[in-house]
Amino acid sequence: MKEIIITTQFKAFDAIEDLPNDIQNLMGQAVEIRKKAYAPYSKFRVGAALLLDNGKIVLGSNQENAAYPSGLCAERVAIFHAGAVYPEAKILKMAITAASDTNTTSTPIPPCGSCRQSIAEYEIRQETPIEIYFMGEIGTIYKSESLKNLLPFMFDKKYL
């Protein structure tokens, strides 16, 4: 038997004001779109903002449905919209924020597993890492240089 050790590395920012200006703007847009999420069941609102290499910013918020699991997470709403409207553009940066209607979220909340797989598909396809910034409603923001930090064993087309 052989033991495999995998390490990941993140940067942590104490507040939105500590982020670079372009990321402050991106996270600010994620916060605003988060407020428009349709989350009547979970009461958990998520907003995502993508910066594309063509300079466009694409937004997404989670959209729930009484017939689970028919809803869609904010990250996938934004990614799929970008893929449909700007199919040749690369996703450079992603800002994600999550908040609960019932309590304050103060720890960084990463993308769920389904979203990680969807982000992986685009990162692998475009052959360029996607910087991912994620936070709760308030508090620390984590930065990952690539989805590989969040999903070190990515499943992609080479396994098919």
Neighbours of 102 (CB within 10 A): 8
Q: Is 41 annotated as a binding residue?
A: no
Q: Is 137 annotated as a binding residue?
A: no
Q: Is 115 annotated as a binding residue?
A: yes
Q: Is 37 annotated as a binding residue?
A: no
Q: Is 63 annotated as a binding residue?
A: yes
Catalytic residue among 3, 17, 32, 75: 75
Q: Is 112 annotated as a binding residue?
A: yes
* Spatial distance between the Cα atoms of 150 and 111, rounded to a whole number of angstroms: 9
Q: Is 54 annotated as a binding residue?
A: no
Q: Is 84 annotated as a binding residue?
A: no
* Spatial distance between the Cα atoms of 8 and 150, rounded to a whole number of angstroms: 8
Q: Is 65 annotated as a binding residue?
A: yes
Residue with tokens 């990614």: 79
| Sequence-distant contacts of 67-73: CB under 8 A, at least 24 apart | 68/41, 73/46, 73/111, 73/112, 73/114, 73/115
Both tokens assigned to 6: 């995998």
Q: Is 24 annotated as a binding residue?
A: no
Tell me, yes or no, if 32 is annotated catalytic: no
Active site residues: 75
As annotated, the binding site for substrate includes 62-68
As annotated, the binding site includes 62-68, 73, 112, 115
As annotated, the binding site for Zn(2+) includes 73, 112, 115
